[in-house]
Structure formats: C-alpha cells, structure tokens
Amino acid sequence: MFTMTTYGTWLRGDMRGWVDQGRVLPPNPPLEAADRRRMKYPLFLFSEQDLPKVGGWIGQSLRERLDLRILAMTAQTWHVHLVIAATEHPKSKIVKCAKDAVRWGLRPGQPIWTDGYDKRFSFDDDSVRNRMEYVERHNVASGLPPKPWDFIEEYPI
C-alpha cells in the first residue's frame, strides 16, 4: 500500500505525528510553523471535482506503463492511497509514475506532491484485505462505491 500526500499537507512537526529516519515523532508546532514559513508555494489540495480524474490518471498510467494490478485506490483532497498486487517494479518507479500522471493531467504551475511517500507491505491475505478495506472505506465515506474505477481488480487475483 502506498500513500502519497499533497504539497504542504504533512510537514515535520505535524500534530498527527511525523516520521524522521523511520521513527515516528510527536507533534512539534514550532518545527511545523518553521517548515510552513519555508514553503516556496502555497499548500496544494485537489478539488473535489478533480478526484475522479486524479484516480483515473493514476490507474491508467500504472496499468499502461507498468502493467500493475490495482487492488484498491482512493483519491482524497490531500492524499492518495493505492494498494497493488505484488510486482518486481521498484517502489520509487511506481510512485513516480503515479505522481507524474497527475502532474501531467493537472499542470498546476506549482508542486502537487510532498517529497517521498509511505509504503506498507502485506505478506498474507488478511493483511492485503485489511489494507484494501481501509482504502475502500475512504471511498465509501466520500459517497463513492468501494471500487470507483473500472481498472480496480478483485482479490484474490
């Protein structure tokens, strides 16, 4: 499972906690404020109207360019969650493909994404299903079906 956040929405010191060198750290409001002051561009959020396109661009790019099997995906205003089947592609290549598809589609004239991404591995069926359900709950909470794009595959594959 990958999570990609939009520019300026998850800074060091964030009140939700933050990660540095693999360690989860507590909120640090002065550090977050300092990072916010250093931002070169305004915070970026996807508009609600763009969310179906954002998901579509990501799915189409990952399927066509990397032949990935997408098991679950949600596009929210400040982040995207993506669950894919096992692949030999490097994680960084997958994320770059997804992020570039949205940059190309929107062409906003500013950064869209934070640097980096979060990844969670699943090594058994229960873990895969739990991650898929987590992602699908985001879609349902937004008034969408659990699998709102036709490229999302059923599991098990």
The per-residue pLDDT for range 15-67, each reduced to its tens digit, is 998 888 878 899 999 999 999 999 999 999 999 999 999 999 999 999 999 99
Domain boundaries in the chain? 1-157
Specify the DSSP element, H or E, that contains 17: none
CATH number assigned to the domain covering 1-157: 3.30.70
This model's pTM is above 0.85: yes
pLDDT tens per residue across span 103-148 = 999 999 999 999 989 999 999 999 999 999 999 999 999 999 999 9
Q: Give me the helices (H) in 39-124, please.
A: 51-66, 91-106
Strand order in the sheet with 118-119: 70-75, 79-84, 2-5, 118-119
